[in-house]
Amino acid sequence: MNLIALKMLVGDRLKYISLVAGIAFAALLVTQQSSIFTGFARQMSAWIRDTNVADLWVMDEQVEFVDDFKPMAETKLQRIRSVDGVQWAVPLYKNYLRTRLPDGTAVQTRVVGLDDATLTGAPEIVEGRVEDLRRDRAVMINIRHASTLLALKRDGNKPLKIGDRISINDNEAIVVGFYRATREFFWDPVIYTTYTKALNWAPRERKQLGFILVKAQENQDLTQLAERIKSQTGLVAYTGDQFANKTMTDLLSRTGILINFGITIALGFVIGVLVAGQTFFNFVLDNLRHFAALKAMGLRNLAIIRMVLLQLLTVGLIGYGIGLGGAVITGAIFSRVGLAFEMPWQIPVLGAVAILGCCLGAGIISLVRVMRMEPGIVFRA
């Protein structure tokens, strides 16, 4: 009877295509929008993940996200180093500073100062050597930004190159290399230098220490270490994942991205599922007479349920496959042009569960009609 169920399904091409298209549309919207949302969310914490070499990030308790500059006193570094369970702790500077390019173009940039001795938290260098950062006035810039955000716009968009001299907060700096980094949610270019140089270039303030990267001693419980840091220094300590989540949560609530994407995903889901559900329901109703005939001829309810579920599963999987394929293709295109798109395995799995679950819901409603149907309707013309 399975083959008969499938023939019933695909026999009416128009209805079959409508069914598959409805489900594909819902699947496309759900998986694509979720992936774009995930892409944005991960971009928000991309710098944390790229810099994630330590066990804990220590910062002022008022810091809410990664680019929220609320500096600490320099003395805090020594206090952290003296906390029981800390193997090592290094300073990390990060703040917005004005940069002027060789052609005079002014750009708002984020300057990151790495610990002079260890250069802990350095990005992936693609041109030059990380040690070059210790040279006088040395900075490294993102290779992607060299020909985009930091290109010499007043000089025919020429890319910035090694040896070029730029001005950071009216202090001369020399490009000594390029690095590669994950694309971030905030677009301002990140310029790497050493901690000491960053402090020299930054406006004078009483407190200038942005973050402290902490490596815990072996077998240390990070939660307990974070609590000790909090109780002894008044600073908060997060693991990289915790800080990334805190950043994402904060930015999502500040920007309304979560609500906007949530609405889009929900709308797409509801519209797609309603279309698919309604079409499937109509499909079953249209076939009610045939199911009644089969029932009269001795087909048991269980077999009819199996037929309807097979039909449902078939259109559900084909529709979902097409929708997911569409999302993957658009994702590949998005990624190529630099738009946020990230599809971890959870999205296709949860998408499939949601879409097939809703199809099943529509199927169950249809099945109620089929089960309640009197086979005697076959005797009515």
Partner 1 sequence: MTMTMLENATATEIAVACRRVTKTYGTGGSAVTALRGIDLDVRAGELMMLVGPSGCGKTTLISVIAGILDRDAGDCTVFGHDYSQMTQGEKTRYRGETIGFVFQAFNLLPTLTAAENVSIPLLINGASRATAMKKAKEMLARVELGDRAHSLPSQLSGGQQQRVAIARALIHDPKLIVCDEPTSALDHETGHKVMELLKDVALKEDRALVIVTHDARIFEFADRIARMDDGRIMKIENGDDFAVNGK
Site for partner 1, rule CB under 8 A: 1, 3-4, 7-8, 10-12, 289-290, 293-301, 303, 374-376, 378-381
**DSSP character string of 330-378:** HHHHHHHTT------THHHHHHHHHHHHHHHHHHHHHHHHHHH--GGGG
Of residues 11 and 104, the one with the C-beta less far from partner 1: 11
Rounded Cα distance, 11 and 7, in Å: 5
Tokens of 363: 């199927």
Rounded Cα distance, 201 and 292, in Å: 83
Of residues 10 and 130, the one with the C-beta less far from partner 1: 10
Of residues 271 and 288, the one with the C-beta less far from partner 1: 288
* Smallest distance, partner 1 to C-beta of residue 274, A: 26
Rounded Cα distance, 371 and 291, in Å: 10
Q: Which of 27, 40, 45, 44 is nearest to 347 (CA)?
A: 27
Residues 337/338/340/343 CA torsion (nearest 10 deg): 70
The bridge status of strand 56-59 relative to strand 106-114 is: unpaired
Q: Contact, 194 vs 114, CB < 8 A?
A: yes
The bridge status of strand 236-238 relative to strand 56-59 is: antiparallel
* Smallest distance, partner 1 to C-beta of residue 10, A: 7
The H or E element that residue 110 is part of is strand 106-114
Of residues 270 and 296, the one with the C-beta less far from partner 1: 296
Rounded Cα distance, 221 and 239, in Å: 11
Of residues 206 and 380, the one with the C-beta less far from partner 1: 380
Of residues 290 and 369, the one with the C-beta less far from partner 1: 290
Of residues 350 and 377, the one with the C-beta less far from partner 1: 377
Q: Contact, 296 vs 378, CB < 8 A?
A: yes
Of residues 203 and 298, the one with the C-beta less far from partner 1: 298
Rounded Cα distance, 275 and 281, in Å: 10
Tokens of 377: 């309707």
* Smallest distance, partner 1 to C-beta of residue 375, A: 4
* Smallest distance, partner 1 to C-beta of residue 20, A: 16
Amino acid making up residue 279? T
* Smallest distance, partner 1 to C-beta of residue 380, A: 7
Of residues 98 and 290, the one with the C-beta less far from partner 1: 290
* Smallest distance, partner 1 to C-beta of residue 255, A: 51
* Smallest distance, partner 1 to C-beta of residue 301, A: 8
At which residue do the structure tokens 């039909």 appear?
Answer: 311
* Smallest distance, partner 1 to C-beta of residue 143, A: 59
Rounded Cα distance, 118 and 31, in Å: 42
* Smallest distance, partner 1 to C-beta of residue 223, A: 59
Q: Contact, 341 vs 35, CB < 8 A?
A: yes
